[in-house]
Structure 1
Amino acid sequence: MDNIKGIIRKNNIRLTKALGQNFLNDEGIVNRIVDAADVGKEDVVIEIGPGIGSMTHELCKRAGEVFAVEIDARLIPVLAQNLKGFSNLHIINNDVMKLDLKRDIISLLSPERKPEAVKVAANLPYYITTPIIMKLLEENPGIDSMVFMVQKEVAERMTAAPGGKDYGALSLAVQYYSRPRAVFDVPPHCFIPQPGVYSTVIRLDIFKTPPVTVKSEELFFKIVKAAFGQRRKTLLNALSNSGCLAQGKQDIRQVLEDTGIGESRRGETLSIEQFAQLSNAFFEKGNSL
């Protein structure tokens, strides 16, 4: 592909801040991201936000098929022109948040074309990073792994362990569905225009089954959200004030005591196993939402 700056200038592209458009301008970083995605000829790749196609170009060289989902209609002809030599590319002009990936993408594969794996690669707009990642994890459309470029602070939250300031509801949600691993950091000067923060490439390997067994996922995540909704409060007070449980404060205290989780602890000190234990205990007490 031609130089990114040259393509932007040639096509008179005005990058839109509202869409969080920051194009990668470093071929070495692009190659490292695709390396992290571990893409092969038997794989189908869904790329979210291909922009003008700098990473798409490398994905098409390595993957069996690439579905590039781009929300900005202005970029579609540029993307098509830059990648016209690839017959394995499918460009979709849509908002990924409005797509059902299983229906709108994966089902488009012919019956005889069963991929070895379905993978996602994306340089996500920072303003909508978390909603996109959670949509993909919760919908479970059959994705095996995902590699994203995200704001460094978000990557730290997704990979955080119990006990630290970065550990929270996002950490537990991501770690319930996947095994996250920060791969490498990317400085601002690798983008056009330069963002005001460092970025991190993170890989999520999707679990076939979650690492803990919960009797109600809805209740599990409500308890997690309640525990971190008021981080400075004790677990007893945070759960009592949240309104997500059928029991009153005294009954909540009793469940905490029965599970061996002290009422004065805070949510940030509980492991995913302890949150599962807690939600299962409340489920058995009548919180079958």
Structure 2
Amino acid sequence: MDRLSSHRATKDIVDKHGFKFSKSLGQNFLIDDNVIDKIIDGARVKEGDKVIEVGPGIGTLTREMAKRAEKVVAVEIDKNLIPILKETLADFDNTEVVNEDILKVDINKLVDEKLSGGPVKLIANLPYYITTPIVMKFLEEDIPVTDIVVMVQKEVADRMNAVPSTKDYGALSVAVQYYCDTEIVAKAPRHMFIPQPKVDSTVIGLHIREERKYKADNEQLFFKTVKAAFGQRRKTLLNSLSSMGVLDKAKIKEVLAEAGIDEKRRGETLSIEEFAHLSNIINKNI
């Protein structure tokens, strides 16, 4: 079987199995060879690698990854796609399909049982409404993941990749960049999918650092500080951080002075390093 990444090949498989696309599951299948190759390159997939793919669809990307990786475990929620994947992946004995909801799966157990304990790479073409929960699940749950490459709505990728003092910079930017180096891997306009979605997409690569670039003494407090700073973007840091309920306004004023941060600045102007420094001083004063 040749590559499946064309409109004709995809339509033939779908029609053969009488498959109906589900809007609720956000099913849009990629039909562009170039973007598929960029995803695999962006994840740095090579011989010996173990990959978790979320949302394999009909196996278009799965097949190409299986040609390079040691093993690919594809997690697919839609039981109607399982017989299609059985057919399209029949030539690859280094692939395995798991019919589960990725948000309900014990990822570390999956890695231990099916991927020899990792490390793993996560590659996904996700319904946009679950993009952030899945990415943060992999970052926060101490999963042995080295690279995350996901197809997301363009605006979400812009937020993940944003720098301070820009309109896209926010709590998601800080959360992702606290753990990872980010890069835009590819752009995927809506015409590259079947059926066509209503928005354009971007593939973003998140490369997890082996060591933290920013040192937060209390990570829970760090993220609480970030969330408060961006909670109401028009508020100054003095006012937004006072609403955290951790320290009173007078103490927050002292903390900001000790951190060397102007109390009139807004959260969107702070670098991740400044957020880490600030949260460490708040932590000392609690």
Q: After the TM superposition, which residues 48-197 of structure 1 pair with which residues of structure 2 at under 5 Å, given as runs?
A: 48-110=54-116, 117-197=119-199
Structure 1 SS opposite 2:24: helix
**Alignment match of 2:229 (pick from 215, 227, 230):** 227
Aligned to 1:44: 50
CA distance in 1, matches of 2:214, 2:37: 35
Shift of 1:79: 0.6
Alpha carbons 2:164, 2:268 under 8 Å: kept: yes
Give CA deviations for 1:175-196 in whole Å, capped at 9, x if unaligned: 0111011122111100011111
Q: For the Cα contact (< 8 Å) 2:35–2:186, is it kept in 1? A: no
- Other structure's SS at 1:144 match: strand
The answer to whether the 8 A contact 1:67-1:105 is kept is no
The reply on whether 1:208 has 2:210 as its aligned counterpart is yes
- Helix, strand or coil: the match of 1:239? helix
**How far does the alpha carbon of each residue in 1:228-247 deviate from its partner, in whole angstroms, 9 at most, with x for none?**
0000000011111233x1x2
State the alpha-carbon separation in 1 of the partners of residues 108 and 208 from structure 2.
16
Q: Is 1:239 aligned to residue 232 of structure 2?
A: no
- Corresponding residue pairs, total: 280
Per the alignment, residue 20 of structure 2 pairs with: 14
Which of 30-39 and 77-86 deviates more?
30-39
Distance 2:195 2:57 in 1: 13
C-alpha contact (below 8 Å) 1:146/1:204 kept by paired residues: yes
Deviations 1:163-185 (CA, angstroms, capped at 9, x unpaired): 11100000000001110111221
Give the deviation of 1:140 after TM superposition.
2.5
SS at match of 2:163: coil
- Code of the aligned partner of 2:97: I
SS in 2 for 1:147: strand
Partners in 1 of 2:68 and 2:268 — Cα distance?
41
Q: Which amino acid aligns with 2:78?
A: D
Per-residue displacement from partner, 1:194-236 (whole Å, max 9, x unpaired)?
1111111111110122211111000000000000000000001
**Structure 2 gap ranges (5+):** none
How far, CA to CA, are the matches of 2:38 and 2:176 in structure 1?
Answer: 23
Kindly indicate whether the alpha-carbon contact (under 8 Å) linking 2:65 and 2:72 is maintained by their aligned counterparts in 1. yes
1:127 to partner: Cα distance: 1.4
Helix, strand or coil at the partner of 1:105: helix
CA distance in structure 2 between the partners assigned to 1:32 and 1:184 by the alignment: 7
Greater shift, 234-243 or 222-231, is seen at: 234-243
Instruction: Confirm or deny: 8 A CA contact 2:71 2:115 kept in the other structure.
Output: no
Give the alignment of 1:253-264 within 5 angstroms. Answer: 253-264=253-264
Aligned residue among 33, 37, 61 for 1:31: 37
Cα deviation, residue 40, structure 1: 1.3
* Aligned partner of residue 34 in structure 2, secondary structure: helix
The code of the aligned residue for 1:272 comes to: I
Could you say what secondary structure the match of 1:52 adopts? coil
Q: Percent identity?
A: 53
Q: SS at 1:85's partner residue? A: coil
CA contact (8 A) 2:228 2:241 kept: yes
Q: 2:248 matched to 1:248?
A: yes
> How far apart in 2 are the matches of 1:240 and 1:154?
29
* Secondary structure in structure 1 of the residue aligned to 2:42: helix
Take 1:210 and 1:107, find their aligned partners in 2: how far apart are those partners?
28
CA-atom RMSD in angstroms: 1.3
| Secondary structure of the structure 2 residue equivalent to 1:202 | strand
